[in-house]
Amino acid sequence: WSSDVCSSDLENATMARRPIVGGNWKCNPAKVSELDGLVANMNTCDTANCDVYVCPSPLHVGIVYQKFNKGVYCAPQNCNFKGTGAYTGEMCAEQMVDMGMEWCLIGHSERRGEFGLPTPAESSKLIADTKMGYLLKAGMKVILAIGEPLPIREKGIEAVMEVCKENLAPGIPHMKEYGAEKIVIAYEPVWSIGTGVTASPEQAQETHKAIRAYLAEAVSEEFAAAVRIQYGGSANAKNAAALGACPDVDGFLVGGASLKPEIKDIVDLLVAAKA
Ligand code: 13P
C-alpha cells in the first residue's frame, strides 16, 4: 500500500466510530423452520463493542423481530415513502416504529435493479432524498447502500466516485439535518456482491476514504469524521481482519456469510482489528 491510501485523512476520529456489522439475509431462508438457527447465529455476536443489525426477508421480519438479543437490531430491507395506506406489497416506517425497530436498509443494489429487474430502477433521488428523508422524519435510522457496477470500477476510482457521489448527493440535506448518528453508509460494489470476489483492502480503503472526503466537503468535516461507512460484498471471516484494518472501513454489510455461524467471527475480527 502507498502510505497515502493506507492512512485516513481523519485519523483521530477513527477511534470514535463504533464498529457496525449488518447481516442481510436477502430472500433467505426458504423455510420458516430454518429461522431459529439463523437467529441463533446472529445472537452469538458479541455486541459489547460493535453495533449489529440483521435484515430478514420482508416475509420473515414479523416472525423474528422479537427474537434477537439486545444489541442486535432488526432492520427491514426496504421501506416505502408514504406511510400506511393503499401501498400493496410495501412496508412503512410507522409500522417499523410501532414494532420497536430503529434501523432500515435502503438503496441496496438489488433494490436498485441490479439483479435484472425489468422495471425502472429506484433512483438515487427516490432513495437518498425521498425515502431517507421520510424514514428519518419518522424517527428511524438509515443504512444507505451505494456502489458501482463492474464496468465503472474498470474505469478507475474517479468513475467509481462519480457513481458514489450521484448515489449520495440527494441525501446531503438530510445528512446535514440529522447527523451521523442517524445514518450509516454501506459501500457495496455491485461486482463483489454474491460473487465471492471481494474488493481488496486497498480498493476498499481508497474508496471509503474518497467517500469520506466527499462527505467532508458536501456535508461537513464533523459529519465525515463521525459517519460510519460499511463495506459490503463477499465479506467473510477470511477477509474481515484485513478489510477491518483499513482505517476508513467501519464495518461490514454481510450477505451470504450472515447465514452462517461465521457472522460471529466477522464481528470479533472487526472489533479486534479496531482495538
Ligand atoms: P454477499 O456478502 O453475499 O456478497 O452480499 C453482500 C450484500 O449485498 C449485503 O447487502
| Helical spans, DSSP H, in the chain | 3-6, 11-14, 35-43, 58-64, 93-98, 124, 132-137, 150-153, 157-168, 172-178, 201-218, 221-226, 240-244, 262-274
60 catalytic? Reply is no
Q: Are 242 and 201 in contact (CB under 8 A)?
A: yes
| Region 42-57 average pLDDT | 98
Q: Are 109 and 68 in contact (CB under 8 A)?
A: no
pLDDT at 94 over 70: yes
262 catalytic? Reply is no
pLDDT digits (tens, 9 = 90+) for 149-184: 999 999 999 999 999 999 999 999 999 999 999 999
- The residue whose CB lies within 8 Å of the most ligand 1 atoms, and thus the one to mutate among 115, 184, 193, is 193
Whole-prediction pTM: 0.94
C-alpha of residue 120 to centroid of ligand 1, in Å: 22
Q: Are 211 and 172 in contact (CB under 8 A)?
A: no
What local confidence, expressed as pLDDT, does residue 7 receive?
A: 52
pLDDT digits (tens, 9 = 90+) for 244-275: 999 999 999 999 999 999 999 999 999 999 99
Q: Which atom of ligand 1 is nearest to the CA of 256?
A: 3
Cell 447502500, located at residue: 145
The grid coordinates listed for 25 are: 439475509
Q: Which atom of ligand 1 is nearest to the CA of 258?
A: 2
CA-based max dimension of the chain: 54
pLDDT digits (tens, 9 = 90+) for 109-144: 998 877 778 888 899 999 999 999 999 999 999 999
C-alpha of residue 193 to centroid of ligand 1, in Å: 5
Residue 226's nearest CA partner among 13, 12, 49 is 13
pLDDT at 10 over 80: no
State the catalytic residue, choosing from 60, 108, 174, 208.
108
Lowest-confidence segment of 7-11, 30-34, 178-182 by average pLDDT: 7-11
